[in-house]
Structure 1
């Protein structure tokens, strides 16, 4: 993973996938994706518990994200894939590292969504691993957590693929889709992945893909059954 600088704005890259701060020019792609993925995303969208609170415009959201990053409390990236045109990319989702605390806690929480048309390619686990490694090695955090509604099976698969440790159920933890919702909490500490979460994920992915490849049963006795390849939101 390439890391461009250690202070904000920072871009993280692995292969054709880049995490970069949102830009004003992303508005059209953002609005198209939110419209095309409304049914896919709405059940998991964080909402305001304040009655009548108006949603922020795209420009307001981007300004708020940059203010939070400069304050060191939250960092938000657009997930983007290389486009056919040199130097251009396509926005495919969003990932944030929020609730950043230093001092005796040294922790943060990752949240994310991806365009349904890009799901099932292992992009979300890769993005979460990239952001987690930056949190450990760029920010010096000790712990990163992911909180997922128990009904969100696609996101639970992301935590499973990455081998995150389950820590239990948090009752009425976040206001999501208009109500306070329970969430399962998963976490990883820097000591658990001294080599980095991204290298561990890539190794697990390669091993799963290798186990799923068909083999010549005439020369390889005891062939293992199919192992599902990487997928998930």
Structure 2
């Protein structure tokens, strides 16, 4: 099992890839347009005023963490356009072999099935290529869209963590969902979660 960076994952028109320098104008517009949409779900620092890390600093941090093998931060693109981000991290090996997934999506692309597919792509890569054993996703109970994502992907509910993460200026409760490698039947192509998603929700994937 080898951690590769830079990394590109594909499913039809959906591509997960690192942020590039030339993405800056489109990325900045995307974040600004979605500022209010994402505020209730974005993690915040309780000791600092909420602010978005500048693009250049964000891209450099992403690249440094990814090269060290600690995080896997990828942009979600569809049809060649930026649509959001998905990140696995911190990635832990040894006795744990686990990570936590986080993601966000452009409001204009929400409900189109991009996040479940991106998450499935990422999970399959983490299991099949990195040899991880457990993937975890934490979701605020109010986030019905994200709850639908973990439901589609058959992540197992494991309970509620009280005041688990500082989000939107306060400590918020989060529901915990998880999936282990033994719960996924992976094909020769390395796809297990994605293959199951396509079988159960074929209308979510454009053809042609």
Q: Normalising by structure 1, what TM-score?
A: 0.81
Structure 1 11/93 Cα, relative in aligned 2: closer, same or farther at 3 Å?
same
- Count of aligned residue pairs for this structure pair: 199
* Cα separation, 2, equivalents of 1:160 and 1:53: 30
Q: Which has the higher contact order (CA 8 A, sep 6+)?
A: 2
Unaligned runs of 5+ in 1: 83-88, 210-228
* Cα separation, 2, equivalents of 1:123 and 1:191: 25
Largest Rg, 1 or 2: 1
Contact 1:193 1:200 in 2 (8 A): no
Q: How does 1:1-233 map to 2 (within 5 A)?
A: 7-52=4-49, 55-82=52-79, 89-195=80-186, 196-206=192-202
* Cα separation, 1, equivalents of 2:181 and 2:123: 9
Unaligned runs of 5+ in 2: 187-191
* Cα separation, 1, equivalents of 2:171 and 2:45: 10
Contact 2:83 2:109 in 1 (8 A): yes
Q: Which string of whole-angstrom CA distances, capped at 9 and with x for unpartnered residues, describes residues 53-92 of structure 1? A: 764211001100111111111110000112xxxxxx2111
* Cα separation, 2, equivalents of 1:191 and 1:43: 34
Q: Normalising by structure 2, what TM-score?
A: 0.91
Q: Which string of whole-angstrom CA distances, capped at 9 and with x for unpartnered residues, describes residues 156-177 of structure 1? A: 1101111110011011111111
SS of 1:76's partner is strand
